[in-house]
Amino acid sequence: MKTSATELELAIQMDEAARVAHQLRLKRDRQDRNGRILKHIFLIIVSCVMLYPLFWLLASSFKPENEIFGSLTLWPSEFQFENYTKGWYALPISFTVFYVNSAIVTGLSVIGNLVSCSFAAYAFARLNFNGRSFFFALMMMTLMIPYHVVLIPQYVQFLNLGWVDTYLPLVVPRFLASDAFFIFLMVQFFRQLPRELDEAAMIDGCSPFKIYWAIILPLSLPAMGTAAIFSLIWVWEDFLAPLIYLNDIKSYTVPLALRLFLDQEGQSAYGQMFAMSVLSLVPVVIFFVLFQKLIVRGIATSGMK
């Protein structure tokens, strides 16, 4: 009997233990769920704060001109859809042309940035060569100098090349890795990849280009995706260089066209300008949504190591 009593006790104890374990698990699940809900609530509140300005912009794009400044309420008293329809044709050239122009400049620039900057970054991050730190320092320096003081010498330079009033000053530098930001970004990511990869590939007889193409790039998709997104957004929104280098209104890009709506001293068309600003965000948002998948997909590949 004694044994059975002990067995019983043991059974009870085990049962108890299982129950406690179960409760603990339940509690943890509950905590997890609570934690997730809390996290969502927090993120939703933050989202509202983050989105307020966009709502404001959207609302303003439907408002009559004198309501944009006069009223603090978000909701327009009457919806002026004509801000969109009229805005598209408000300038001497229709926005269709500006969009095509922007697409050309941006498309070429993004390709140029990704190719040339990843080349340079690969050299800086994965290859040993004489003068590496020297050139790296020079590259960093180009990031630091305020753009406005090189504007005029640069303008003179492109003028002498006969490039002013073409897209060449906007596009060619990007194929020559002019934006050190992306080089530095890629360098930081490339350096994180394990060295054994290159060493093994080298032993297998892979050329440096093969290593760059078949190993480094595929493993750096999150970085390349990030660079592509930034590059697209920044070029799409770039204003100063198109302002300086484009003269003919037929060649204007979207941000430049947006500046034609405003006249500090005279008649402005804020409603139409906001409407066109909202539309100008659309391609960027679409691109963002498409390319952020690339960042996500990166997990699978880089998790592999």
Partner 1 sequence: MTKLTRRALLGTMGATAAAAALPAMPAFAADRTIRHYWWGNPERDKRTFAVIDTFQKKNVGIAVSGETIGWGDYWTKMATQTAGRNMADLVQMDYRFLFEYVNRGALKPLDEFVGKSLMIADFDKGPLDGGKVDGKLYALNIGSNSQVMVHNTRAFQEAGIDADLINWTWDDFAKACEKITAKSGGKMKGSDDLSLMIETFESWVRQNGREFYSPDGKVTATAGDVTSWWQMWADLRKAGVVRDKNKTVILDPPIAESGIAVGDTAMSHYWSNQLVGIQAVAKDKIGAAMVPHKAGGKPGQFIKPSMFLSLSRDAKDTAAAIAYMNAWVNDPEITGILGLERGIPCSPKIRAALAPKLTEVEKLSVDYFTAIQSKVGPLPVPAPKGAGEVRDAFMRIGTDVVLGKVEVAKAASTFIEDAQAIIERAQ
Partner 2 sequence: MKRFFARNAPAYVFLLPWLIGFFLLALGPILASLYLSFTRYDMVSAPRWIGWGNYEYMFTRDRRFWKALEVTFTYVALAVPARLIMALGVAMLLDKGLRTIGLYRAIFYLPSLLGASIAIAILWRQLFAADGVVNQVLAMVGIQGASWITDPDTSLYTLVVLAMWQFGSPMLIFLAGLRGIPRDLYEAAEIDGTPGWRQFTRITLPLLAPVIFFNLVLQTIDSFKTFSSAFIISNGTGAPADSLLFYTVYLFNEAFKFFRMGYASALAWFLLVIIATFTAIAFFTSKYWVHYENERD
In the window 108-147, what residues touch partner 1 (CB under 8 A)? 108
Q: Which of 186, 221, 235, 256 binds partner 1 (CB under 8 A)?
A: 256
Q: Which amino acid is at 248?
A: D
Q: Which amino acid is at 1?
A: M
Residues in contact with partner 2, counted by CB under 8 A, come to a total of 100
Cα first-last separation, the chain: 59
Give which of partner 2, partner 1, none residue 286 binds (C-beta under 5 to 8 Å, depending on kind).
Answer: none
The reply on whether position 199 binds partner 1 by CB under 8 A is no
CB of 85 to partner 1, least distance (A): 14
Q: Which of 6, 13, 207, 268 binds partner 1 (CB under 8 A)?
A: 268
Give which of partner 1, partner 2, none residue 88 binds (C-beta under 5 to 8 Å, depending on kind).
Answer: none
Going by C-alpha positions, the residue among 155, 293, 301 that lies closest to residue 226 is 293
The reply on whether position 176 binds partner 1 by CB under 8 A is no
Q: Which of 1, 2, 4, 53 binds partner 2 (CB under 8 A)?
A: 53
Cα 102 versus chain centre, distance: 17
Residues 57-96 that bind partner 1 (CB under 8 A): 65-66, 68-70, 90-93
| Distance from C-alpha of 99 to C-alpha of 269, rounded to nearest angstrom | 20
CB 86 within 8 A of CB 216: no
Q: Which of 33, 210, 250, 293 binds partner 1 (CB under 8 A)?
A: 250
The reply on whether position 47 binds partner 2 by CB under 8 A is yes
Q: Which is nearer to partner 1, 75 or 213 (CB)?
A: 75
The reply on whether position 1 binds partner 2 by CB under 8 A is no
The reply on whether position 269 binds partner 1 by CB under 8 A is yes
Per-position x/- string for 228-257, each x denoting binding to partner 2 as judged by CB under 8 A, each - no binding: -xx--x---x--------------------
The reply on whether position 68 binds partner 2 by CB under 8 A is yes
CB of 160 to partner 2, least distance (A): 10
